[in-house]
Structure formats: C-alpha cells, structure tokens
Amino acid sequence: MGGQQTSGGTGREFQRVADELRFRMTNGTYPERSFLPSQRDLADEFRVSRVTVQRALRELINEGWIESKQGSGSRVIKTQRIQSSAPKATRSRRGVTLEFLIGEAFEQPEVTLDVYTLTSESLYWLIQQQAHRIRSRSISPRRITLRMLLPDERQSLPYPRVKDDPEDPRLRERLHDITERHTKSLQESLGSLRSEGWVPSVDVDIRRAPLTPTFKLYLFNRVEALHGPYEVIERNIALESGEELTALDVLGLGATLTHHIKDEQHQDSAGSIFVDSMQKWFNSVWELLSE
C-alpha cells in the first residue's frame, strides 16, 4: 500500500472516510443492497488504519446507512431517494440524483445555485466534483453564482443535541466546526476557479438566518427545485476524543427529496408554482432576515 497510514481512529480521519462513503451512497456509486469494499480495501484506498475504517463504518451503522454482519461485510440499506416527475430524457442513467442535478446545472454557461441547509458539508463534496470537471475541461461555465443560507450560529438549535442533556454544548460545537470547515473549503474551491482563470466570474455569498432548518432546499438556475424535510432521529455520535454520545440529530442526505421543474409554457403547473414559491421564499429570507 502506498503512503503511510494513520495510527488510530481519532481526529478527523474517520470523518473523512465516513463523509466520502456517504457521498458515494447518495450518488449511486454504492446503490442500495450493494456491499461496500472490504475494510482492508477501504484502509488501502483512504490510506488510514483499519481502526479508522471501523470507526467510520460504526458511525454509518448508527446513522442507518449500512448493516454489518460478521463474515458478510457491510451492506448498504439506505441511499438518497429523490422523487421526480421530470421527463425521462432529463434523467441520468442512475435516475435523478443530487449529484446529477448539480452537474446538469453546471453544464450551463450561467450557473445560479441557491441553497438553504443546516450545514455546507454535502454541498462541498458536490462542488468539488464540479471543480474537477471544469479543470478537466469537461464543462466550461462562464459564471457561477452561489447563495447559501445557513442557520445563525448564535442561536440555540434543537438539533443536534445530547438526548438527556440539552445544555451540553459539545454537539453544537461539533456542528459549528463541521460547517465552518466545509464552508471555508467551499469558498476556497470556487474562488480558485476564478483566480486560476478557469471561470471568468465567480460570486459566492454565504449568509446566516435566525431560522432552524426543518428542510433542505436547492434551487437550480431558478427553474428547478429540490426540496426535502429533515427527519429527526436518535443516534450515537462519536466525538474526536472517541467518546460516543446519544444524540437527537437530523440526516439530510438520507431524507427523501422531491424534484420540481418549472414549465415556462405553463406557469400555473404544479412544478412552476412550487419553484416560483420556493424562490420567492428564499429571496425574502435572504433580503429581509439574513446577515
């Protein structure tokens, strides 16, 4: 195996592995009922120890993504589900996925993406993929405009929190760290496309609103919307120290999302009304409540 492995499952290495595996389960790389690679293969690929892989898999089990049986490996039991009424011609080979919709949006000369979410984590991974496509000259947008609404970090959110001790600040601090890390990386990733000359115009604006996200919303080029509620669940969350806490949390990636398309010729269609109403909602919060 090339490179040196990390020696343990603490720190952010297990989160990096878990993040990537979640992303692969949502984009169709590991479909439902398929098996993940062996622990040895995952350790080789990510250049981490088996302990780190085991900790990442334990987190995915706690979140309900996979099930693991001795001698049988880890099988995917949950993926990102998107219900769509889009014409068949607009669907990808794997069906409608968040990865496909963002990729389709980035294939346009003018990319406009409005996002309302609890954290910037999943968006970061998707944007990284589009940045790779741009650098490989597969796509060449001329302008990228991203507006993202996140919850105000000064407010006390009802989730994630320690189940039996709502005043325990550790899970809120963990959420803050995850959001700040991915938000900064997202800004740097898109900013580098402009500074390196790959995209002539890039505008990234991230604001905070005094709202608790109860749903996730993506608006693509003002003509498509992806919307879905956050489901509150009880699960164990591992801290960087290795301690596990029983938490009340939400899982955005595992929720069922609905896909709506605006019909320019039928403004009174269900898709057109939904996209327009969510765009108006986003604009109102952006202009009147966010900082």
Task: Report the alpha-carbon distance of residue 162 to residue 246 in Å, rounded.
Answer: 6
Q: pLDDT tens digit string along 28-67?
A: 788 888 999 999 999 999 999 999 999 889 888 877 788 8
In CATH terms, is domain 81-288 a member of 3.30.870? yes
Q: Quote the tokens at residue 226.
A: 């992806």
Task: Report the alpha-carbon distance of residue 265 to residue 211 in Å, rounded.
Answer: 35
Q: Mean pLDDT in the chain? A: 86
pTM for this prediction: 0.81
Q: Which CATH class is domain 13-76?
A: mainly alpha
CB 117 within 8 A of CB 150: yes
**Span between the terminal Cα atoms of the chain, in Å:** 48
| Residue given tokens 């120890």 in the structure block | 49
Sorted by where each begins, the domain ranges of the chain are 13-76, 81-288
Q: pLDDT tens digit string along 202-214?
A: 999 999 999 999 9
Q: Cβ neighbours of residue 87 under 8 Å, at least 6 residues apart? A: none
Task: Report the alpha-carbon distance of residue 46 to residue 53 in Å, rounded.
Answer: 9
